[in-house]
Structure 1
């Protein structure tokens, strides 16, 4: 018999219904305990007795308010100091994002400041082989002279496009703006960003609503949260906000408890604490969303007014050329019945019907997307399918729903001055082809960037600048990235940490940590109102580091000419302040948080925002002192002018996607163009939200299992290291000594004669990693789950060589339409060691 996922599910000792019952009755009870938080408290008490723990001298106690930047959440923090040493981080009670709360990463941030085993102490030049960690400290003058000389040489050779940058700073921040500006002034189009769920969301919004509006969900005013894989209490969005909201949902004074339904294949903390958990096969969440849409449409539970007056392509329609097109409703009714969707997802048809009814009949429902923490890119078609649910219930730009905003009105910096070399360089095509006819909706593709380097006999990139990113570790399938980095002649890392990518750099220009610098945080992820926060330098720099924005300004001025003229500032704070002037001129903001009037209540009750500053200088003084500017107001509905699509409506049928396909086809049969976009559906369905069968690499015979990486709130899975103390908050069935644990369903493990704790190799066609078996009824049969955030080769003890990094074996394909890396479709096999 063929050994594949379908047969694995069939062979298990219990069927799928029993699997769900066991999970809800057993594993959920385990996760419902406060044990992780108790372990964190115990470890904090335990570590106080260690003799080598630094004890600050007696001195004056002070508290400094700032903003956390360890993720995209932008939570307010208050740092307690004894004289000049920071000793404790807590959440700010006077901050709207996270009133008083802070996640484990935020609480452990001091270790990322003071732990000298994970930080660079000054500018470094590599003196050993790449990856060896052998560096020689040099002066800032020497380092900058070496780098600017190399970039100037490229410009003299008329090769400015051979300069490239990988940027992990949050988009829209002043540092990110300056990185892009530097490349433009030099003449390179090769600015590349690390991918994330917000990039996928922007593409889906552009296709359906004509705008790349930020992810903004009015969760606190909702009564039904339908989450498609979002780790709501595992770090998704803004962790401090989500933990606060979760507590509020369960302590609603009106006794109208908010209902949370979690859709994911593993019994995560979010799934186990939710009111209902549905476990589909990984990668089929979009099909499940369309199955829910089928029931809502069939039973006429949708918002007919929105569908008829403010949506395009919902019903059958005829083009100006006279061609008839089936609408979204017709296609969904024909192809996505609960029975059909059950065969794709494994979900019970009765559960699909029941969930669809409950969602549509709720007063204020909202559907969310973005797997895990949202740090990794997602499926555009899945995001479109989920967004179609919000449109069906008419909850677009309404209280409790998905809110759409215009971009924040920052003042633009002066126009970049470009000489002839820069102008010619910018005419060259991007190495990643983002924005080309093949990927018209995607702004950056690091996977294509890597492929272009690997396919070239000589690297087309001569100098690579890396900011706040660790692609050699955090990118899905790290192997090609490492090989590409080896081919690049000169790599410069601006990381303050000894991460894997920095250890491959020829030159390190270490940035300050977030507690040592002033930096802006632009619109924390998923917030339903705009926030621009500014961090405060809590302490003086511990080591000989510099703010990356200041370094870029000095680099540009050292290169001189039009490049230097494009950076006329004395320091980073000048462009930072200049951009904020646009917020003052737009009006409507405030720097004061009123605890008795949280932003979500202001939005719901339409409370007028009172601005307490009288001039821009007054506003700037208050913003820098309090670290906060926000605008808790919104103009709801306005559907007549809201959507920027060609139809002026919410588009179930994406006319922009259709136009892109036609442009690529150039008058020929569009079938090949659709294939280049990764779309296998026929033309009637191609431009609607639909399900594309996962591309799972090699056949099921050789690799019969599916690998699913997952994220934890107490492990950093991005470019930052995990504070070492947080290692003590991990369970023994997650990591023990140097071994990761792979979660497997007992039925699946039995097929391989594996028992709890057995050592195994998890292997894909891209490589293999060691692990130990953890048997859990709370995971999908036929799937192997590995935690992200372990398996580092960089940093110091106890982070390095602890556990396995699933990114080493992920078989990263390309998502249809976006071309972004896919990390949830890797086929694997396991073998006992």
Structure 2
């Protein structure tokens, strides 16, 4: 049995041989339960599927000191500067976004919300925006800093916020008397609109115009993201965009980014650790997340696969797959499939026979979403504490079992301290214990029955404008100069020179930056700045750029697209089994590719058979390909429909964060 297998390698002192890949919402009870199981067993190898909110959490941590995603008061904003967020394409909570867009659009002229969309493609969001800017992919940070240049140069920033609540804006001296360059000086010196035009392709006059409009708005907000937010973004890019909010004092202000309270859920009792668990948890994670090399990243699932593929034998004996299908959804999924083949025992909890489940040795199918209880704690981007509880509406159709119940039963079967950490009889009891913290919170008292009946709990109040004592950084202020980045890089640099106390002079520091993928020098390293993201493949051999896109009516996560939603795709997106890629007509004509022509889309990682759709809204020399199709599993309605771009994505690591860059693969088109 699974319990006996885990107990076997645990009794030999190797609890770290257990790993789990979890796709549940990070704050949900299911995610906490799975992580608790691995902790009690003694394995540090709890991995999460990467998401955009991971990058937002890092930005919040590095610039504001909070270890949680950023939240946005979009309903009260009057100027939206969106750097790639598919606001009408599935970003955030779709219901909320469609409703707030309606509010923006129906306000009278005097109170109308002005929307600027930054996107290399004319997406639904870009098409509906008041202004569409199409920079070269990957140059969004430079564009944001070009706008910051205008705001700083023309003194359009919030002097009150900058003077009283920010650190690192102007040049400053540290406690040793060393002078440091401020954010304003670097931006004024490097990111003039003319310089940024050369980087992004956006005219300098447009950069100036948008920056002035953003600065003159009453409640502007800048948003960083890509598409639906399914995948992580670039850390320095997101920091650069958030710096615009800080310049205008839009932190914890009505219509800006907010620092919100956590949902007041009751904590569980502490995990009970025995000596085996304590020893296992001291060992380094397989994916290296949280090490000196990746100090701010909690999980790096692509590194997990890389380490396994580079090992003679798999360091993982048993892998649990929970609400995740990495064999399909991971960029360069073929590398992950190769890693899965080396793992001796794989357990899938999926209710679907997906790509990862097809490689599993044991399937313990979960209920489907209509058959089970599941909770969501503060959905991404929501600006106030919200707890949502989904209850089963139908009885299970087959002999399935809630994964939460299975995890609790598994812990009890393993026994010892692990069983002691799982005192609940079932998953509902575990949820109920957390929810007890809500009973006396908020304006009105609630009970478990109230939460079950209503399906939600929230407190929409917020103390706008509160700035004192809210930042949890070392400076107790918003940090343009991130002291956490400074400490992490200098500590990493010391690690490259064992026995050298300073480790900060000469080659070791340069080596640290090189290893971290950072090209900037000096104090700019610790601040928002533009890093040119390298790409795999020779530009001469692969002259085009591949940029995957997401549609609101096409599922891109671990669950396949419902067959009836496939019917909503246009014939120029999917015809029978053929997937179309969007190509600018000028680019297509260079290759002699007419509308509907068949072609091979090739990257250094592999090739796909596609058809061509001419689209004037596509940037020249960029190929746009939809995520969500190309399944090799499921049923006849999904299997073989289109192709999966993850098969040819050649991801490289984002500087500092180490997250996979999925939107920068070089490709070429070959006419068939």
Return the TM-score normalized by structure 2: 0.97
Mapping of 1:687-698 within 5 angstroms? 687-698=526-537
Match of 2:525 in 1: 686
Match of 2:97 in 1: 242
Over 3 Å off, 4+ runs: none
Match of 2:306 in 1: 451
Task: Tell me the SS of whatever aligns to 2:469.
Answer: helix
**1:431–1:449 CA contact under 8 A, matched in 2:** yes
Mapping of 1:180-579 within 5 angstroms? 180-252=35-107, 256-579=111-434
Match of 2:493 in 1: 665
Return the offset for 1:418: 1.5
**2:261–2:385 CA contact under 8 A, matched in 1:** no
**2:536–2:651 CA contact under 8 A, matched in 1:** no
Match of 1:8 in 2: none
Task: Tell me the SS of whatever aligns to 1:369.
Answer: strand
Question: How many Å separate the matches in 2 of 1:256 and 1:753?
Answer: 49
Mapping of 1:665-744 within 5 angstroms? 665-666=493-494, 667-668=502-503, 669=505, 670-744=509-583
Question: How many Å separate the matches in 1 of 2:424 and 2:388?
Answer: 22
Change over 3 Å in CA distance of 1:402–1:149 after alignment to 2: same
Moved more, 638-647 or 221-230: 638-647
Q: Is 1:820–2:648 an aligned residue pair?
A: no
Question: How many Å separate the matches in 1 of 2:373 and 2:282?
Answer: 35
Mapping of 1:578-597 within 5 angstroms? 578-585=433-440, 587-588=441-442
Return the offset for 1:582: 2.1
Task: Tell me the SS of whatever aligns to 2:438.
Answer: helix
**1:213–1:407 CA contact under 8 A, matched in 2:** no
Question: How many Å separate the matches in 2 of 1:356 and 1:650?
Answer: 21
Question: How many Å separate the matches in 2 of 1:236 and 1:711?
Answer: 10
RMSD: 1.1
Question: How many Å separate the matches in 2 of 1:151 and 1:413?
Answer: 24
Moved more, 458-467 or 414-423: 414-423
Return the offset for 1:543: 1.1
Moved more, 304-313 or 255-264: 255-264
Return the offset for 1:210: 1.0
Question: How many Å separate the matches in 1 of 2:600 and 2:87?
Answer: 31
Return the offset for 1:774: 0.6
Q: Is 1:784–2:612 an aligned residue pair?
A: no
Return the offset for 1:178: 0.6
**2:351–2:366 CA contact under 8 A, matched in 1:** yes
Moved more, 245-254 or 367-376: 245-254
Return the offset for 1:457: 0.3
Return the offset for 1:253: 5.2
**2:533–2:654 CA contact under 8 A, matched in 1:** no
**1:213–1:404 CA contact under 8 A, matched in 2:** no
Question: How many Å separate the matches in 1 of 2:241 and 2:438?
Answer: 32
Return the offset for 1:447: 1.1
Q: Is 1:638–2:493 an aligned residue pair?
A: no
Question: How many Å separate the matches in 1 of 2:396 and 2:225?
Answer: 36
Match of 2:634 in 1: 795
Question: How many Å separate the matches in 2 of 1:579 and 1:815?
Answer: 36
**1:524–1:531 CA contact under 8 A, matched in 2:** yes
**2:601–2:609 CA contact under 8 A, matched in 1:** yes
**2:313–2:342 CA contact under 8 A, matched in 1:** yes
Q: Is 1:628–2:456 an aligned residue pair?
A: yes
Deviations 1:220-260 (A, max 9, x none): 10111110000001110000100111111111257522111
Match of 1:754 in 2: 593
Task: Tell me the SS of whatever aligns to 2:72.
Answer: coil
Question: How many Å separate the matches in 2 of 1:194 and 1:637?
Answer: 35
Match of 2:610 in 1: 771
**2:546–2:663 CA contact under 8 A, matched in 1:** yes
Return the TM-score normalized by structure 1: 0.78
**1:520–1:532 CA contact under 8 A, matched in 2:** yes
Task: Tell me the SS of whatever aligns to 2:510.
Answer: helix
Question: How many Å separate the matches in 2 of 1:646 and 1:535?
Answer: 40
Mapping of 1:91-110 within 5 angstroms? none
Query: Unpaired runs of 5+ in structure 1?
Result: 1-145, 589-609
Task: Tell me the SS of whatever aligns to 2:21.
Answer: strand
Question: How many Å separate the matches in 2 of 1:573 and 1:320?
Answer: 54
**2:54–2:69 CA contact under 8 A, matched in 1:** no
**Aligned pairs, how many?**
661
